[in-house]
Amino acid sequence: MNVHAKIDTCHPMFRSAPSGVEFNKLRKRLLRHAREAVHDYGMVTKREDGNRPKWLVGLSGGKDSYGLIALLLDLQWRGLLNVDLLACNLDQGQPNFPKHILPQWLETNGIDHRIEYQDTYSIVKEKVPQNATYCALCSRLRRGNLYRIAREEGCEALVLGHHREDILETFFLNLFHGGKLAAMPPKLVNDEGDLMVLRPLSFCAEDDLEKFATLMDFPIIPCDLCGSQDGLQRNAMKAMIADIEKKMPGRKDTMIRALGNINPSHMLDSDLFDFAGLAPRT
């Protein structure tokens, strides 16, 4: 491919990306899945003032959030996503966190961004008992700060990088440990009712995102908090789902489709279906 032609037809971050068939297929598959989620769940809303919606995109430094901002920018570049994007990293004060990596990467790729420092790490370490899992409190503190930043920046949505496996793991966690059928919805309104939470990667496979991150050479920053703990219930769900997929290939896709194909009359929830009023025709 002519170098100048490539520059004209892609976002700057893709100018040095691989040009082989394998990468192109992977990129197109991820773009297709992201676009499908955005379309199917009506993630782009029309504003009454006629301005483009503005999304705050959470960027942690992990493979999923890098993939998220890259795919959204790619869709935007192609004219398929009519929104403004602001990448945001919340520096949570973790020891040895390489503060220079994300700002440098964002500036190099010409991505609008905001870096926010809030020492939630110390709060989590203080509040959570030793050997207990940090994820719940850490997530709540991080989410609260991101909501605040979204409001300050005039964003109508917080966009997160949860993928297909995250949704399936959450479903089985709720099934086995919560006694309910619930997963991560691709689109929801926050508890305060003033912001949307969007997950455009809901149909994207984690393996694809990992390959994409490797081929794009994203500067991955590992998590030294929850990422350092073993034996989390989520890890058990991940292993179980992986084992099912190994024994019966294609089950992950089947399960994610099943979550969007629910028949209330064939479940057991009398709040969702009027079983008491069900009777044969006379």
- The identity of residue 246, as a single letter, is K
Query: Does residue 31 carry a pLDDT above 70?
Result: yes
Kindly state whether residue 29 falls inside one of the protein's structural domains. yes
Query: Does residue 70 carry a pLDDT above 60?
Result: yes
Kindly state whether residue 158 falls inside one of the protein's structural domains. yes
Phi, psi of 45 (to 5 degrees): -100, 150
| Rounded Cα–Cα distance for residues 196 and 268 (Å) | 30
**Which two three-digit tokens encode residue 281?**
């025709």
**Which residues neighbour 255 within 8 Å (Cβ) at sequence distance 6 or greater?**
168, 171, 241
Query: Does residue 2 carry a pLDDT above 50?
Result: no
Kindly state whether residue 281 falls inside one of the protein's structural domains. no
Predicted confidence at residue 237, as pLDDT, reads 94
Burial of 155 (0-12, 13-18, 19+ CB in 10 A): buried
User: Which residue segment(s) compose the domain that 55 sits in?
Assistant: 3-261
Average pLDDT of the residues in 146-174? 95
Kindly state whether residue 38 falls inside one of the protein's structural domains. yes
Do 172 and 78 touch, CB atoms closer than 8 A?
A: no
Do 200 and 37 touch, CB atoms closer than 8 A?
A: yes
Number of domains in the chain: 1
Query: Does residue 246 carry a pLDDT above 90?
Result: yes
Residue 233 backbone zone (phi > 0: left; psi -120 to 50: alpha; other: beta): alpha
Q: Note the pTM of the prediction, 2 decimals.
A: 0.88
Sequence-ordered alpha helix ranges (H) in the chain: 3-8, 21-40, 63-77, 101-108, 120-127, 135-152, 164-173, 206-216, 233-247, 251-258
CATH number of the domain within which 143 lies: 3.40.50.620
Predicted confidence at residue 127, as pLDDT, reads 65
Kindly state whether residue 271 falls inside one of the protein's structural domains. no
Q: Which 8-state DSSP code applies to residue 48?
A: T
Predicted confidence at residue 7, as pLDDT, reads 46
> Average model confidence (pLDDT) for the chain?
88
Kindly state whether residue 97 falls inside one of the protein's structural domains. yes
| Rounded Cα–Cα distance for residues 175 and 51 (Å) | 41
Kindly state whether residue 274 falls inside one of the protein's structural domains. no
Query: Does residue 191 carry a pLDDT above 60?
Result: yes
Judged by DSSP in three states, 91 sits in: strand
Phi, psi of 56 (to 5 degrees): -95, 120
Query: Does residue 64 carry a pLDDT above 70?
Result: yes
| Rounded Cα–Cα distance for residues 100 and 116 (Å) | 13
Query: Does residue 4 carry a pLDDT above 70?
Result: no
